[in-house]
Chains A and B, each alone.
Chain A
Amino acid sequence: AQSVTQPDIHITVSEGASLELRCNYSYGATPYLFWYVQSPGQGLQLLLKYFSGDTLVQGIKGFEAEFKRSQSSFNLRKPSVHWSDAAEYFCAVGAWAGNNRKLIWGLGTSLAVNP
């Protein structure tokens, strides 16, 4: 069955420090992978996605993620965190059939940023 695991429920980093949020997936075919961010009081916003091609993908707000098929991982990274990055981050895999773009979600990682 398709599933997404985000091993870290909560992470705290200092502003300016580097960040890596982990995501592991289980999917039978080539996965379509996504990272979304949910800031307090706001809807989910797409940070980046992987469909095919270059396994290192760049997203908005200075985020990047690397798809590693051998490890079934799609970890999100940022070299220098800003206080405004404090939010909930969700990894998802696309369980697509036809035009149905259903997503299977991880439970999320809550990021806190210390000044």
Chain B
Amino acid sequence: GAGVSQSPSNKVTEKGKDVELRCDPISGHTALYWYRQSLGQGLEFLIYFQGNSAPDKSGLPSDRFSAERTGGSVSTLTIQRTQQEDSAVYLCASSLAIAGATLNTGELFFGEGSRLTVL
């Protein structure tokens, strides 16, 4: 597609419910990132995908958070048993990573985010 697409744009859920957030990256972008933007916390890195594998999951806050990517394209971020502190905007970004290109600019293109509110 023309840009990174995220859905839903807004999600309100009750504490304890599971949620799924979807990201459709720019066509051909092999790298995909999830970030979380919380009020007063700035942007936190969650996870990085290269193709369908996730070499860096270091930012996932707990085992309630998981993500997968299929077909080297769409990614889903799943939060199980949501808590109020999970309320945030979840941002997805993609980039064109070129293997072995150390000076690859790797500019990140961001979606508009999914705003999650846990009541």
Interface residues of A (CB under 8 A from B): 36, 41-46, 49, 51, 90, 92, 94, 96-108
Judge if B67 is at the interface, Cβ distance under 8 Å: no
Most-contacted residue by chain A among B33, B98, B103, B106 (CB, 10 A)? B106
Dominant SS among interface residues on chain A? strand
Contacts A43-B112, A44-B91 given: A107-B42 contact, CB under 8 Å? Answer: yes
A-B CB proximity, top 10 nearest: A101-B106, A99-B97, A43-B110, A44-B110, A105-B43, A107-B42, A43-B112, A100-B48, A105-B42, A102-B45
Q: What CA separation (Å) do A101 and B49 show in the bound complex?
A: 10
Query: Interface 1/0s, chain B 75-100, versus A by CB < 8 A?
Result: 00000000000000001010101110
Interface residues of B (CB under 8 A from A): 3-4, 30-31, 33, 40-43, 45, 48, 50, 55-56, 91, 93, 95, 97-99, 103-108, 110-113
Contact between A102 and B56, CB atoms less than 8 A apart: yes
Contact between B107 and A99, CB atoms less than 8 A apart: no
Contacts A43-B4, A43-B91, A51-B103 given: A103-B45 contact, CB under 8 Å? Answer: yes
Across the interface, A99 reaches (CB within 8 A) one of B41, B42, B99, namely: B99
B residues in contact with A51, CB < 8 Å: 103, 105
